[in-house]
Homo-oligomer: A and B are copies of this chain.
Amino acid sequence: MADLVSPLAPARFPDLPPVAGVAFHVFNTGLRYKGRSDLLVARFQPGTTAAGVFTRSLTRSAPVDWCRQALAEGEGQARLLVVNAGNANAFTGRRGVETVARTVAAGAQVFDCPASQVFLASTGTIGVALDDSRLTALFPQAAADAGPGAGWEEAARAIMTTDTFPKGATRTVPLDGVPVTVCGIAKGSGMIAPDMATMLAYVVTDAALPAPVLDALLREGVEDSFNAITVDSDTSTSDTLMLFATGQAPHAPVSDAGDPRLAGFREALFAVLTDLAQQVVKDGEGATRFVTVRVSGARTNQAARRIAFAIANSPLVKTAVAGADANWGRIVMAVGKSGEEADRDLLQVRVGGHLIAANGEAVPDYDEAPVAAHMQGRDILIEVDLGLDQGEARVWTCDLTHRYIDINADYRT
């Protein structure tokens, strides 16, 4: 079972070009995984800026607490990122905090930078003490490595836990006439699998952007990418998305996130974020179909989003999709439970672009054949028009299958 690859996985890892100003090193710590890398050390050139968004969980892990603190104290400067897979260092009490402190101190010393420029993430089993010496013992080796380092795919593989495929995405666009590259990797199968916490994503660009600009772009971009996906509505203790800008591209300075010269870059960044987020859904536990839920005609965009998530998180909708059943009754039910304004008699429901319910009832004699054919596919489109106003939203999810139960009912045993 562990060898299965999601049927929604891309055919292969995409070609990600190197990004000037960052070097990757990967290692096996011996902590949990054999025969694969489980530690990623990323070194950034001086002057690299950083921004991050993190889990809203109130029981978040010690590494997340540290990253938030470091970003604030260091004003978004970054020299080092350390990510280990196999142990999440979450719910490890006082010892978890001490583990983080020792790892940061070792990183700052070995790589000769302020502690506030060292970022960490740990993903894997919750509640087991992490032996940080297994990580820090490898730092000198990384520091001494003057070669080109590991590639993006190796980096992506080093942070995997229950993922069935490595996730990467890239775009290159001109910024002020100079080509800049955006590359990213992610891990996470399921919005979350708290035993094997976490959704992690790291995006690096060679653009030269001040930390406040990065932060604004990231917060804007996350809304319609990582904040628009759900597998099972559960939220990890460790979810982390960080964006680094090495500043190696020789474009003129940009000091405002609203600068029109950033239009292409913004689009490229958002495309990378969306691509990575969708890959996380496509590696959702047991997923066999990728589902796009579009809601329009709501009172506000916020209302549309809540309705879209009510549909996307409904176990009854997700099991219907698993069964290739265009079950609009469950979609209507999910709209009703969202708590947002809806008028039963104004709703329109489309599946695969085909109108199947309107005027408060099923469309009389709609042609079921193309709808049934659509439901047999890998990419499912559910559209709901509330018919009230202009609010709209789009979210992505996957179906709920037997394998989700297999994976999660049997994981620890």
Chain A interface (Cβ < 8 Å from any Cβ of B): 55-60, 90-96, 125-129, 192-195, 197, 232-237, 313-316, 319-320, 322-325, 327-330, 332-345, 347, 357, 359-362, 400-402, 404-405, 408-413
Contacts and interface: CB of A to CB of B under 8 A. Distances in A.
A194 B330 contact: yes
Nearest 8 Cβ contacts at the A-B interface: A59-B336, A323-B409, A57-B336, A93-B361, A93-B360, A126-B329, A194-B333, A319-B408
Contact of A91 (B314, B315, B357, B410): B357
A335 B127 CA distance: 15
B409 A232 contact: no
B342 A409 contact: no
Nearest to A341: B58
A385 B225 CA distance: 35
A130 to B, nearest CB: 12
Nearest to A321: B409
Number of copies: 2
B361 A92 contact: yes
A338 B237 CA distance: 12
Contacts of A91: 329, 332, 344, 357, 360-362
A333 B410 contact: no
Contacts of A360: 91-94, 96
Nearest to A91: B332
A235 B323 contact: no
Point out which of A193, A314, A405, A412 has the most chain B C-beta atoms below 10 A from its C-beta. A405
B319 A405 contact: yes
A96 B360 CA distance: 9
Contacts of A404: 315, 319, 405
Contacts of A192: 316, 333
A337 B234 contact: yes
